[in-house]
Structure 1
Amino acid sequence: MKDGESFDSDGESFDSLLKRFRKKVSRARILSEVRKRRFYVSKSEQRHRALRKAINRERRRQRKVRRRLRRM
């Protein structure tokens, strides 16, 4: 999505225009970026969050493996 891009097409209803706009915004991931940058997060906090996320991801993976082994 470019700055100043015109969204309106001839004869297009407001609802379809709004729907198209929302799709473009979500595809460009603008809102998620805004939410992510809403508050300042220090580098150490970013590393800490990334580490916690990795730990949780590994725990989920291990749970999945254990469930598969129980079925056998």
Structure 2
Amino acid sequence: MQPIASLLGKNGMEVKRREGEPTNVFLYRFSKKVQQSGILREAKKRKFRTRPESKLKKKLSALHREKKKKEMAKARKMGRV
């Protein structure tokens, strides 16, 4: 598992407080930058390890998607959707 800092690249993310800037404005700007960069989302995603999906599960999922797709096409043709 990579540390979050390595995801940001060489430079990382830096938010400096401007001269005379109120603390609440600075915190708002900082939190907005963090959300836009996706750091928090990535950290939450990496909190728990997920196992890779088995071949059987992938196959069953694909079959289910195809079945649903056909059902929707049939419903459209019948004028239900």
Structure showing greater radius of gyration is 2
Which residue of the partner structure matches residue 39 of structure 1?
48
Answer yes or no: is 1:14 the counterpart of 2:18. Answer: no
Q: Aligned AA for 1:28?
A: S
Query: 1:40, CA displacement in angstroms?
Result: 1.1
TM-score norm. by structure 2 comes to 0.51
| Percent identical residues | 29
Pairwise CA RMSD of aligned residues?
Answer: 3.5
Could you tell me how far apart the structure 1 residues matched to 2:80 and 2:32 are?
42
TM-score norm. by structure 1 comes to 0.56
**Structure 2 gap ranges (5+):** 1-7
Q: Aligned AA for 2:23?
A: F
- Higher share of residues assigned helix: 1
Aligned residue-pair number: 62
